[in-house]
Chain A
Amino acid sequence: MTRGQVAVFVTCVVDQLFPKVGTAMVEVLERLGYSVDFRERQTCCGQPAFNSGYRDEARLLARHFVDVFRDAEFVVIPSGSCTSMVTHHFAELLPGDATAREVASRTWEFSRFLLEVARVEDVGARYEGAVTWHDSCHALRELKIHDGPRRLLANVRGLELREMDAATECCGFGGTFSVKFADISGAMARTKIDSILRTKADTVVSADCSCLMQLQGAMRRAGVGMRTMHLAEVLASR
């Protein structure tokens, strides 16, 4: 007896660079009683191409995504920006495409899936540490994710949540912005890190691996020894 069938879209960043985030997410979902499937044909949602202005190329990837996930009951993604690509921008790329609309309507960012579909705020996790939460931009502004993760983290045993003063400021990743405007991106990361350091937390947590990649890379370069973890990893901790 399962609560439902979840098809995970792990995102190319998680797939290739941070697979533990994917495994953590699967663990949490299975613990909650969902049947999880990883559809092997999945690749990329097309956001990098779209954000760089290459709509035709992005469209090919969008169509592929829709094809892979058609008739999925739930598509769950451990990323605010990839989710918003599907839910907010596929319509622009594939106007009038009913299947695309259908798939988008069943696509969920991980924390919102937990809170709004699974309807849980406590997944039974334990993580000893002082944590500060970084609001990733697409999650915050396009998907309206702000209080949700904080509620989830509040229920993690042993976890102390500390707000940084610049929680909602962009970390500077912005996809290709991070390399096209590397100097600005780096400066933005350092401002964010200053804010993080002021919390004296030992872990930075976010809903987006690209942000964590940006922050962790910059922290390592600056000699700051802090952990970064994806929300899924914290929630999978026991």
Chain B
Amino acid sequence: MSGAFVPVDRLRETIADQRLQGAIYTATGRLIEKRASVVSPEVLPDYQDLREQARCLKQHTLENLDYYLEQLEANVTAHGGHVVWCNSGEEVADFILGLARQRGASLIVKSKSMTTEEIDLNERLEEHQLQAVETDLGEYILQLAHERPYHIVAPALHKTRREVADLFADRLGVPHDEVIENQTLTARRVLREKFLAAGIGVTGANFLVADSGAVVVVENEGNARLTSSAPPIHIAIAGIEKLIPRAQDLPVFLKLLGRSATGQPLTVYTSFLSGPRRPGELDGPDEFHLVLLDNGRTKLLADAAKRESLFCIRCGACLNHCPVYRKIGGYNYPGTYSGPIGAIITPQYQGVLKHPWLPFASSLCGACAEVCPVKIDIPRLLLELRSEVVRGRSGVERLAFRAFAWLGTHPRAYTFVTAMAARLAPGGENGWLRSLPFFARFGVFEKWLSQRDIPAPARQSFRQYWRNRAKSGPAA
């Protein structure tokens, strides 16, 4: 049945963890407020127009993706860069390993990239004794702790300062210090050495600009700038869906990304990088490689009804506003991406039957769709996925809905059956029941009652009342 294999224990654990609940709710709450303050009609009057423009641009680009990919490649090459096309994460790792070997590089610095998480890049590289150090503070902490990102934009949301102090003391040999500023300075110091010693810098890319052969990287810390500028080789890895047609389209997206993610009109740094250093430039990498990754994106592209899933610019707004994410956090979602976006793309990448419960873990409240800067209609896609999950199923649930549909299309039977049920049901206190008699303690009733009281059927249904009223007149 579609609810099968729900990771109930894990969900319960998360919900019962008061501290974690507080951390998730507060952090996301702050991000919600920050976003609201910079997209309000007073501050950004054309916010809704921008969303529509962004959606149109993404739709157009994806519908003509082959053209733009080729244009991108031509322009990257023209500026002295090199494009590598990869079907899978394995090919990406092979490329990087090969390059590192050729250039004699053993240390790699990395800036935050969910795409590289997706393909387990660090793990793959480590298997071959290549050290890939995360330089985004949150990601660095997680790397030391051997954990995955908790949230697309705030990866270490679940960690306390004490945990960080313990971690640094243990892994870096520094004194135990719970002052967050000091922890940050420690990380800065340690990572600074890495930036300056690394042979290769690996970044993601928020946008790929076709007419410029450029990657755009957006950040607040400065580690992406350092990663792409200090080492002699810069490799940018991006999914093929990150394309936008023109540099002049960038403002639309930049105005939406920072605001939607963290409530910033612009993040501290935006880098528009097109290739290695040009002759005469004072600094910059000698080599630039752009890795274009498929890893299943062409599969999503092929499904026109759900193609808009690829519009995502990874702002994290849907996570922040999702009442379910705010309760269960990032680790309860399978796959790399959590929250509403994860709920629609993971089933598409992995197959709906891999985690059949995932599209159902939503109340369909629509808060995500309301805040998505590129107007992905997440609830609609969840409903599509749900119908795919149950397609061809013939279990108890289908039987139940079939029976209900039959009743619902046979009004006399419906009236009769519901009247019977009402007569047989216990009355309850003020029409509410705390528990049900033993023969009703199953399935949906049990589940409902685990959390709240249940209303007893009314002694007289509305239709019965109306019947009586019809007999005696409206004044009744």
Contacts and interface: CB of A to CB of B under 8 A. Distances in A.
Contact of A179 (B12, B15, B447, B474): B447
A40 to B, nearest CB: 6
A214 B455 CA distance: 10
A100 B367 CA distance: 28
B365 A181 contact: no
A42 B451 contact: no
Contacts of A40: 411, 415, 463, 466-467
Contacts of B25: 191
Nearest to B387: A53
A41 interface: yes
Category for how many chain A residues contact B: 35 or more
Interface stretch (B141-149, B156-164, B400-408): B400-408
Nearest to B444: A179
Interface centre among B11, B12, B367, B452 (most CB of A within 10 A): B452
B169 interface: no
Nearest to A165: B29
A85 B407 CA distance: 19
Nearest to B403: A57
A16 B408 CA distance: 13
Contact of B409 (A61, A168, A182): A61
A52 B363 contact: no
Contacts of A138: 366
Interface stretch (A104-112, A153-161, A169-177): A169-177
Contact of A177 (B328, B362, B404, B453): B362
A178 B448 contact: yes
Contact of B455 (A50, A140, A173, A213): A213
Contacts of A214: 452
B265 interface: no
A189 B455 contact: no
Contacts of B432: 216-217, 220
A218 interface: yes
Contacts of A64: 408-409
Given A18-B458, A53-B2, A185 B363 contact: yes
A52 B390 contact: yes
A186 interface: yes
A49 interface: yes
Given A53-B388, A57-B402, A60-B409, A16 B422 contact: yes
B451 A183 contact: yes
A214 B365 CA distance: 14
B411 A16 contact: no
A180 B3 contact: yes
Given A19-B461, A30-B474, A170-B365, A53 B386 contact: yes
A22 interface: yes
B448 A179 contact: yes
B450 A186 contact: yes
B2 A52 contact: yes
B383 interface: yes
A173 B386 CA distance: 17
B387 A61 contact: no
Interface residues of B, number: 67
A44 B411 CA distance: 10
B323 A172 contact: yes
Interface string A177-204: 1111111111111010000000000000
Interface of A is mostly: helix
B457 interface: yes
Contacts of A14: 462
Contacts of A16: 418, 422, 457-458, 461-462
Interface string B316-350: 00000001100110000000000000000000000
A17 interface: yes
A184 B324 contact: yes
Contact of A174 (B8, B365, B388): B365
Contacts of B457: 16-17
A60 B383 CA distance: 18
B409 A43 contact: yes
Interface string A94-114: 000000000000000000000
A221 interface: yes
B67 interface: no
B6 A180 contact: yes
Nearest to A54: B401
Interface string A33-44: 000001011111
Interface centre among A38, A183, A186 (most CB of B within 10 A): A183
B11 A183 contact: yes
Interface in A186-238: 186-189, 191, 213-214, 216-218, 220-221
Nearest to B445: A179
Given A53-B388, A57-B401, A189-B452, A15 B462 contact: yes
Nearest to A47: B364
Interface of A: 10, 14-19, 22-23, 30, 38, 40-44, 46, 48-55, 57-58, 60-61, 63-64, 137-138, 140-142, 168-170, 172-189, 191, 213-214, 216-218, 220-221
14 contacts: A16-B462, A43-B409, A49-B401, A51-B386, A52-B401, A57-B398, A61-B405, A170-B363, A173-B363, A181-B6, A182-B451, A186-B452, A213-B455, A217-B451
Given A57-B402, A188-B324, 14 more contacts: A16-B422, A16-B458, A17-B455, A17-B458, A38-B463, A46-B405, A48-B401, A137-B366, A174-B363, A177-B363, A187-B21, A191-B323, A217-B448, A217-B454
